[in-house]
Structures are given as C-alpha cells and as structure tokens.
Amino acid sequence: MRRLKPQTGWLPWDLADSDAGAYRCAIVNPFGKGNANFNLKLTGFSSPTFIEKPQISSRDDGRVMIMEFKAKSILKPTFVWQKGDEIVAESDRYKIILKETGNHEYYAALEIVEPKKEKDAGQFVCTAKNESGKLTATFSVKFEVPQGAPTFTRKPQILQKTSDSGDPAIVFDIGFQADQNPEVIWLNPKGKKMKESSRIKFGLTPDGGANTYTAQLELKNYKAKDSGTYTCNIKNDAGEANVELTLNIEGPLDDAGDDESQA
C-alpha cells in the first residue's frame, strides 16, 4: 500500500523488507518529463522491536513469578524461551503465554508457579525472530535471602558408611547456616514427612562456625525400593530453604518387609 504525500511524492506505508528494490519516479508537465531512480535497501528493517521493555513481576502473594514484554513485528514471528542453553518447555510449573493483540503487536510472558532459588535463579532469555531479524528479551532472576534465613554452606552429598549397629547405611549430608533455632524436616520420595525408626535416624550438630550446622539422614539396610528424590527442608522465623538429593540403588524391588523409608 502506498500513501501519497502532497508536494513531496509518496511514502511506503508500514515498510517491510519486501519493499526493498529499485524504484523509478516519472515527473511529467506540459514542457516535458523527467525520471528519478532510487535503490531502496531495507535489510533488517522488519525485525521485531520492543513496545514494552522486559520486566519481572509477581502475583498471588509471590506464588507466581511473571517475566513479560511486548513486541511489534510486521512479519510473523516465533518466540522461544531459554534458561541457559536449555529450551524452556511448558510444565506444571512453567506456563508460556503468547497473545497477538492487533496491529502486529504481541504480548509474551513466562509464568513460574512456586519459584525456587535452586531451580529458577539465573538468566532467562526469550528470542522473538522473524525472516528479517530477531529481538532478545533478557531476564535476570535473583532471590534475596532475608537476614538469618537458612542458606547452604556446601554441596549436599550422599555417603555410604557402616552404622553404629554394624549395618550398611546411606547418609544424606547437608551443611547450612541459620539463625533462630532452625527446624529440619526430611521428606521421602513420596513427599511425606519422615520419622525416626529402626532404619531411619536424624542428626543435627553444630559445625563450629557462626550458626552453622550439619544435618544428616541415616538410612540403614537400604534397598532398591528406597531409590528416589529426598528433600531436606530447613526452616526458621526468617525463612526456609530446601535441597533435593536423589538416591539410586540398583537391584530388584523387594515389596516385602519394612517400608519405613516411605512412611
């Protein structure tokens, strides 16, 4: 579509890369005519552009984190979300939103349900791309830890040992720092709170530093059915922290006998 501009000629309406090329203007009056030639170059002219810059917000008292922006793209774009080198796919926790709002404008957002520092901290990138070029929206997700809230002091580990009773045992070992009398809770792979028993023993000892501790879960006579992801939850009045440890034990599943690790 072309728009006539009085006295000065014409201007393309909603320029696109496809408008590039050679143009010729013929000027005619009673005394004769003249020609003017133009070569229009528009590489990248139709690349997506921001209408609203990327921003991070939340709703539902912080239970949902929202990364969002608005872009304009005359050519049909694609939108891809990434965290690091991995493409973000929809799941129970991640919801990808893309709405075309008219006039070649788009609203793009990524919602994270129950965001967690150990899983969601870092850089997210959304790339909007069309045949002309691309636009990159970058989001840096940071979690501020309240003063005195639990924080981990070393990488969690799973150890093998012989228990005091002489039985083979697995030990989940966690180092952390926390003020105000921290409470440690262990959850089994089914998400249920674990209790001490003949096979299960909890430990919480000071490390010697300022408000630093070692939390341990000892599991005796472990079997293949004990495999799965265990969670250590540490909580005090200032906040809480969670860490997951995955136990893989090879061998046949034995459904008979004690099932206390799953209780």
What pLDDT, in 10s, does the model give residues 35-44? Answer: 877 776 655 5
Reduce the DSSP state of residue 225 to 3 states and report it: helix
Selection from 73, 67, 57 nearest residue 106 by Cα: 73
| Percent above pLDDT 70 for the chain | 85
Q: Is residue 261 part of a domain?
A: no
* 137 shares its domain with 53: yes
Which residue, of 122, 141, 160, is where some domain finishes? 141
For residues 179-191, average pLDDT:
93
Q: Is residue 244 part of a domain?
A: yes
* 91 shares its domain with 177: no
* 73 shares its domain with 155: no
Residues in the chain: 263
* 128 shares its domain with 161: no
Structural domain boundaries enclosing 83? 49-141
Split at pLDDT 50, 70, 90, the class of 104 is: very high
| Percent above pLDDT 90 for the chain | 60
- pTM value surpassing 0.75: no
Q: Is residue 38 part of a domain?
A: no
Q: Looking at residue 2, what is its pLDDT?
A: 47
* 109 shares its domain with 158: no
Question: Is the Cβ–Cβ distance between 23 and 38 less than 8 Å?
Answer: yes
Residue 86 has pLDDT above 90, yes or no: yes
Residues with Cβ within 8 Å of 197's Cβ and at least 6 positions away in sequence, in order, are: 260, 263
* 176 shares its domain with 242: yes
Angle, alpha carbons 17-19-20 (nearest 5°): 75
Q: How far apart are CA 197 and CA 192, in angstroms?
A: 15
Average pLDDT of every residue of the chain: 86
* 58 shares its domain with 116: yes
Q: Looking at residue 105, what is its pLDDT?
A: 97
DSSP state for residue 193 in the 8-state scheme? B
Q: Is residue 170 part of a domain?
A: yes
Q: How far apart are CA 49 and CA 107, in angstroms?
A: 12
Q: Is residue 114 part of a domain?
A: yes
* 87 shares its domain with 160: no
* Residue type, position 60, single letter: D
* 192 shares its domain with 113: no
Q: Is residue 125 part of a domain?
A: yes
Q: Is residue 164 part of a domain?
A: yes
Split at pLDDT 50, 70, 90, the class of 164 is: confident
For residues 33-62, average pLDDT:
82
If one counts the domains in the chain, the total is: 2
* 202 shares its domain with 135: no
User: For residue 176, what is the domain's CATH number?
Assistant: 2.60.40.10
* 133 shares its domain with 155: no
Which residue, of 141, 171, 203, is where some domain finishes? 141
Which residue, of 141, 170, 193, is where some domain finishes? 141
Q: Is residue 174 part of a domain?
A: yes
* 119 shares its domain with 174: no
